[in-house]
Chains A and B, each alone.
Chain A
Amino acid sequence: MRMLKRLAVLAALALISAGAAAQTVKIGLINTYSGPMASNGDQIQKAVDLYMKLNESRLPNGVKIEIIKRDDTGINPETAKRLAQELIVREKVNLITGVVWTPNAAAIAPLTKEAKVPFIIMNAGTAMLTTLSPYIARTSFTLWQSSYPMGEWAAKKFKTAYIAVADYGPGHDAQEAFTKSFKAGGGTIVGSVRMPPPTSDFAPYLQRVKDAKPDALFVFVPAGKSATALMKGFGDLGLGQAGIKLIGPGDITTDEELPNMGDVPVGVVTMFHYSAAGERPANKTFVAEYKKTYGDKAWPNFISVGAWDAMAAIYDVVIAQKGKLDPDKTMALLKGWKNPNSPRGPISIDPATRDIVQNEYVREVRKVGDHLANVELETIKSVKDPWKEINDKK
């Protein structure tokens, strides 16, 4: 009888180790695949596919990563929340990632805490998001990270500035950050306006800016078509000719939208963590691989890079745990995770806040060969999210 019991235990152990040999890690990817905002989701999906294609060999033997895609259709927090709930309860995913929009990420956050599912944000950039759950880490950026140093930089060049931002979380962050550092540097804010996010006609707002005659106009609008519409308005109303310099976080001159903007953005100075024109070898390889897979017209942008680095972090935690993900261990590994060779330069995740630490670059839009590019001029090294530093948030 004892012999039989021992045999049974041995058999059970053998089964467990056999299970470990074929380990599938399930990753829930909540992304925007349909609707007017689908181009952002496309950037994420392309980076995810590319990373998996190029890094398959990194995984230990028998470990597989399965991506379960879900479509949140745009800024739809209710849908995003339900999808996350289903991924956790029905698909039993080990980790959730993706999420372009701040409201969607905010709706998902409480679930990750309740279910103890690590959640790596690939894009949504409002500073407070990572404080909503201890199971959130972010590989993208915060608006404070770019707008705060932008204000410091601008205060050295300009006396007065006008602020125009999209009226939602990231816009409020950008406004607050820029105002704080620009004023601290001795600059004066002569006016500010918040524009509803779906706005595509910026003429009325820009006319007010023109009348106020500031030295610089600091703008944040969501990357993509809004930014292009803004450039068009800026050019049509002749703000550049009136001597107003356009500055902002890099969202307003993203690499994939530059070809649609005409010559208006030439000379626009932005602060951002990624430019496809970056001279780093890791970036050259990344852009080359991206173009090889998706065609010469395709440009990766900051969203692709956020997704690319999220995948790098996911692969690292999967490899470190040999495919058996424990939520708390995963979070411990993510805290302090480093990648010295990201396309955007060296990055890490701050162990205290679980938010990204990265270089910010002062860039100017210039003509390079036959196209426009964000040429990096200055580097500000290892920028932590200033909002968390100033307000002591974790």
Chain B
Amino acid sequence: MYSAPARLRPLEALPWLLAIAVYFAAPSYLPLGAYVFIMILFTLSLDLVVGYGGIVTLGHSAYFGFGAYTAGILAVRLNGDPLLGLAAAALAAGLLGLATGAVILRTRALTLLMLTLAITSIVLEIASSATALTNGSDGLHSVPVDPVLGRFAFDLFGTTAYFYCLAVVLACWTLVRSLVNSPFGAALVGSRENDARMHAIGAPVYARRLQAYSISCALAGMAGALLTQTTQFAGLSTLGFELSGEGLVMLVLGGVGRLYGAFVGPTVYIVARDYLARQTPEYWYMGIGVLLVLIVLFARGGILGLVDVLVNRLRAKRS
């Protein structure tokens, strides 16, 4: 399977240039743009475990929501500084990932999948009953969020939210990119491809997988924190199983285990959803369904897989 090489290529600047272009070309789409960045970060965290680690999970929303609530509760109770909230969310979700991963990563395949589901359900149930902290089904509303770095207040037009999320995604992408290109990443991919051989050559498979899982959970928690901070709201839907499923769908749509699938998938999915929902608020789900069926049928490696096929064909024709 193809993965981004260690050296930066000029093409890799494209997502960031596009993000800047959107700011100038479509300033009224910034709130949607910020939401796309948040989902990119969440999908990126999924790609690390699902794509590179081969750990198929349906429970990643547990860490997303845990981060969202950590940032929310911290802001309501103590301090509304966004960077502090972001760091706290990353730490909390990462620790939760370490604790739960230590248990569930001892299992494989279907058992693992069921356990990830169980974790989401447990966290959701706790959040829904700890009403004193989380406000239960009503959610935490009007969460106070201070200006970023004490200077940039979150505004109605979404400019601050847009660049704040963009900066966080850029930082996290740099981290994930260097991770998957390091020996650590190679060991991770090795355990995905052939577990037994990795054990045979003496690689610490379990430890590597647990490390990757915890880092991924921390990233998901940061995505959750971003959602809380940009919407000033943390609710139970951040912990729902639907979000985990949606994340996986976006990842598959873009292309699994190739880093940039996590950029393409959420962008296409959310923009398509936004467009369809505006055309027919009642029946837009069908449009999304058709899109997904087409991708699964005709583009096995997601949208990026399709691009690969096309590029290869062009090259073959030329030579």
Contact = CB atoms under 8 A, between A and B. Distances in A.
Interface string B229-270: 001110101100000000000000000000000000000000
A85 B158 contact: yes
Given A71-B281, A82-B35, A90-B28, A77 B156 contact: no
B28 to A, nearest CB: 4
Interface stretch (B54-62, B132-140, B213-221): B132-140
B32 interface: yes
A45 to B, nearest CB: 8
A86 B28 CA distance: 7
Interface residues of A, number: 34
Interface in A168-205: 168-169, 196-197
A81 B136 CA distance: 19
B284 interface: yes
A76 interface: yes
A110 to B, nearest CB: 6
Interface residues of B, number: 31
A250 B285 CA distance: 32
A114 B232 CA distance: 14
B231 A196 contact: no
A41 to B, nearest CB: 9
Interface in A56-104: 69-71, 75-78, 81-82, 85-86, 88-90, 102-103
A227 to B, nearest CB: 17
B68 to A, nearest CB: 9
Contacts of A77: 139, 141, 231, 233, 235, 237
* Chain B contact residues: helix, strand, loop or mixed: helix
A168 B136 contact: yes
Contacts of B136: 167-168
Interface in B29-80: 29-32, 35
Given A103-B235, A196-B128, A69 B156 contact: no
B179 interface: no
Nearest to A82: B31
Query: Which 8 A-B residue pairings sit nearest by Cβ, starting from the closest?
Result: A168-B137, A90-B28, A71-B281, A106-B141, A33-B281, A85-B31, A69-B281, A169-B138
Interface of B: 28-32, 35, 128, 131, 136-139, 141-142, 156-158, 227, 231-233, 235, 237-238, 277-278, 281-285
6 contacts: A34-B285, A78-B233, A78-B237, A82-B31, A126-B138, A196-B137
Given A77-B141, A85-B31, 14 more contacts: A33-B281, A71-B281, A78-B233, A78-B235, A86-B32, A89-B28, A89-B31, A107-B139, A109-B142, A110-B232, A111-B156, A115-B156, A126-B138, A197-B137
